[in-house]
Chains A and B, each alone.
Chain A
């Protein structure tokens, strides 16, 4: 039985990857990109394009510069070398055509903030002045809430919502202003499996409906394995990009890491074993203290595919 008509298309498409009709519009283009903090080179000679409607997972060990890549795209960090263009022009700070979904953090009880207010901040939170109630603004927020299935808790304090509900609101917030590119930084972190599934399906649905490019930074590809078109794997200062089948292979990752790594595929899941410890390099991304995938510094657990099933 179909509950949501719009969701049926991506559900069908999950089985067979969508054909990438050859010349799609390039949203983001990176050429010869390098990022370096002092002596530490995170990555270099990075070349890739994100096309509209394309879902790319960004994988790699802790400290490989995944979150820093998003910071560069957001204009908060400068490339050490190379160029990066968004819709044909160099990236700038605060571009309204780029949506951003951070990892779930439990909202503070000290703030007067309901579900609709969080979404409304995406609509006009950057403008000066008071958030005066306007019919057009209200309609826009209502539409966004409905599009992410969050109308039920629109008027509930965000601090009392579950992590999954908060992330639904964040998806709605990121879609305000009709972005062309969605940057997701570990949006599934600390969610349970059912909510991981629901939130990633929501992102997948919207990228198809809106023809959005998606860059999805994650330490665990399994919740989104059947949605992604390509994988950008950052490791050892270098990278590989391609379909999951092309990149998530023992020989490819062993070469990238410079040491033997096994990629095991079992029951539709991908598990990477033997990843060397990336050390305590700080690349400006968040502390994943509550990392549910168990991707700690043990040196032997998998950055792609946690041990849970």
Chain B
């Protein structure tokens, strides 16, 4: 019989024996997931309003190249992915002011980054589990120093976003008027790309470079389906991202499958639910307009 053993498959995907011990063992991963959810959910709102989902994907592939190179040359995966992300973010930010230019630059950079990453991994003599983890995420790899660096970078991103929140919103949704009112649209764009590069680099380490979009784009896109309030959307987006990540890690604990399918599935399910809510509102004619007497 060549068929799949379904009960064995199920226990590979969901296995909750010794769950309490595993939670303690992997608490670093859970903390990392929660922190990442906050960062990803927050910056995701700007990724959406600046229409940069594709840029996130491009940056994450170069982050993967950087991480692979870091592994190969012994610089360190974290350092490598940070360098790759920031270089990619700055190139996209400097050369891609217009969205058409930006998309073609990303499309040029992305396969180059992936190719470079694959080359470095192919040359790397170490264990192959590490290699796969860079693309699809790894759960066991969050040790204390890595958790600390992740938290430190996350704080930089969150504080940076809070400081430039208002002018960045202005520049993102209404660039012409923002420039007329004296907002430095170009400078803000570069600062934003730097913060985005940092956010992508930390996300790559947990969910892997192929799936960064599921925490930097999907939660914000879902939140935008159910609200257009500039306060509610970021809060919901952070909540969705934290739920996806922490929920995904908790489910993945016992199984032998990488965490990313759990994270992406929860994140996708939330998005679908938000779309259904939005569609039913349209059917019921809820628009938010006030009836004027």
Report which A residues bind B (CB closer than 8 A): 74, 76, 93-96, 98, 100, 102, 107-114, 117-118, 121-122, 124-131, 133, 151-160, 170, 173-174, 183
Contact = CB atoms under 8 A, between A and B. Distances in A.
Given A126-B183, A157-B228, A111 B173 contact: yes
Nearest to A177: B181
A127 B166 contact: yes
A121 B227 CA distance: 19
B183 A155 contact: no
Contacts of B287: 156, 160
B290 interface: yes
A112 B49 contact: yes
Contacts of B166: 121, 124-131
Give the size range of B's interface with the partner.
Answer: 35 or more
15 contacts: A102-B180, A108-B49, A111-B172, A112-B49, A112-B227, A113-B230, A114-B230, A121-B174, A122-B181, A126-B178, A126-B181, A131-B166, A131-B169, A131-B230, A160-B287
B233 interface: yes
Contacts of A94: 180-183
Nearest to A102: B176
A131 B165 contact: yes
Interface in B204-240: 223-224, 227-234
Contacts of B224: 109-110, 112
A121 B172 contact: no
B4 interface: no
Given A128-B163, A152-B290, A74 B180 contact: yes
Contacts of A107: 173
B288 A157 contact: yes
Interface of A: prevailing SS: loop
A93 B178 contact: no
A221 B292 CA distance: 33
Contacts of B45: 112
B164 to A, nearest CB: 6
Interface of B: prevailing SS: helix
B277 interface: no
Contact of A173 (B49, B163, B177, B288): B177
Nearest to A174: B177
B127 interface: no
B48 A110 contact: yes
B237 to A, nearest CB: 9
A95 B179 CA distance: 11
A138 B258 CA distance: 48
B283 interface: no
Nearest to A128: B163
A183 B48 CA distance: 30
Contacts of B176: 100, 102
A133 to B, nearest CB: 8
A96 B229 CA distance: 26
A251 to B, nearest CB: 37
A111 B173 CA distance: 7
Q: Report the 4 A-B pairs with minimum CB-CB distance, sorted nearest first.
A: A94-B182, A125-B170, A157-B228, A111-B49
B173 A152 contact: no
B179 A76 contact: yes
Contacts of B227: 112
Nearest to B223: A112
A127 B165 CA distance: 9
A129 B45 CA distance: 16
